[in-house]
A = this chain, B = another copy of it.
Amino acid sequence: MSDALAAALDSRRAVVEEALDRALPPHGAWPATIHRAVRYSLFAGGKRIRPILVLAAGEAVGGTRDDVLPLACAVEMIHTYSLIHDDLPAMDDDDLRRGKPTSHKVFGEALAILAGDALLTRAFHLMAEVPPEWNGDRVRRRLAAAAILGEACGTGGLIGGQVEDLESEGKAVAASALERLHRAKTGALLSACVRGGAVLGGAGGADLASLARYASAIGLAFQVVDDILDATEGAEQLGKTAGKDHAAQKATYVSVHGLDRARIMARDLLTEALDALAPLGSRTELLAGIARLIVERRA
């Protein structure tokens, strides 16, 4: 990663951390345990790729930070809720996440379920909070972004992908079904970050279409690389149980296409993402950097 990209990511990450903290009730608010559980997972050292994507998409189309920050917080809350629920014993039954014990290991299952519910609820609540002085167009853009988010997190997106993932365990899965699963489970939210950020930033139709193409490519690339890492890296590197997909007989890009072909797919998707940014001109450097980061990451 270049120093310039690292600095660009760090500065946005600091903005996101601060905004997430402000978006939650203060420490000790009633009931204390649920807020401890929410903060434990939300501030567990995530890389904040999704909220930074929201900021970067907004910047690429000339939007202000005030316009995009609530969505940036919302997508990180939703990402975190989905990890907490996916890790539950009834789902993927994971003990380790980002190098720390999972929520249900620390707080018990009931509180982990409720912490996920709380993050999902707060995400949409945040999208509904607008300053009274905002004009009709800004309010309308906020609702449009909330609708994009709702679509991405529903049974046709995040939730549907998790259902399909659970149901495909131990079964032979066709390449087309695998792509549908991951477009829903990982791609939909990543795409909503980019499209939602662009809508909030006031993007017009052509820019929105370019960014949607970019989003689609990085969404799929993200999962392909995840599968490559799960097959090739150790638990210490990943901060979560490694080889888990293989052990659970889950279909992955590596199990379906093989490691070499999966690596070629990831490179091709990066090229596609960068090509999609070309018509947008000069303000897309950060988006391009994030695409490279997604494909070249090691954890």
Residue positions of A touching B, CB distance < 8 A: 25, 29-31, 33-35, 38, 81, 85, 88, 90-91, 108-111, 113-114, 116-118, 120-122, 124-130, 135-137, 139-140, 142-144, 146-147, 149-151, 153-156, 159-160, 162-164, 166-167, 180
Contacts and interface: CB of A to CB of B under 8 A. Distances in A.
A143 B139 contact: yes
A2 B136 CA distance: 45
Contact of A150 (B122, B147, B154, B166): B122
A118 B159 contact: yes
Contact of A30 (B120, B136, B149, B156): B156
A166 B120 contact: no
Contacts of A151: 125
Nearest to A146: B128
Contacts of A116: 117
A33 B167 contact: yes
Given A29-B155, A128-B150, 18 more contacts: A30-B164, A33-B163, A33-B167, A34-B160, A38-B155, A81-B117, A85-B113, A85-B117, A88-B113, A111-B163, A114-B159, A118-B159, A122-B154, A124-B128, A124-B150, A125-B150, A125-B153, A129-B147
B120 A120 contact: yes
A121 B81 CA distance: 12
A164 B90 contact: no
A36 B164 CA distance: 14
A111 B124 CA distance: 22
